[in-house]
Amino acid sequence: MENAFSLISEVGFPIAAALAGGYFVFLTLKFILAGVLSSIKNLTAIIVTLDNRVKVMVHDVIRIDIRLSNILGVEPDIERISRADGKEDARKD
């Protein structure tokens, strides 16, 4: 309490009040941003999981396509299979 009164006597009440208000705003923003950061981390984990599921589904579809091609006696689309190993979308249709 002594420190607050000495600050008011040195710089004046309006400046001390502005400093206290600025500190309050700083704490509020820090609390809000911490909540946003945790939400971003959670969403990032969900996106990574969904990306892995999509990759597995693409490989499963290609495996089914190859099996059906072999059963039906049709030549499998080698270009489509090779595109699936790259970083671009495997479906070009």
Low-confidence residues of the chain: pLDDT under 50: 90, 93
32: in domain: yes
93: in domain: no
38: in domain: yes
51: in domain: yes
- When divided into structural domains, the chain yields a total of 1
Reduced to 3 states (helix: H, G, I; strand: E, B; else coil), residue 31 is helix
Per-residue model confidence (pLDDT) at position 93: 46
CA 67 and chain centroid, separation: 36
Per-residue model confidence (pLDDT) at position 89: 52
Q: What is the four-CA torsion angle of 34, 39, 43, 44, rounded to 10 degrees?
A: 10
**What pTM did the predictor assign?**
0.55
| Structural domain boundaries enclosing 65 | 2-84
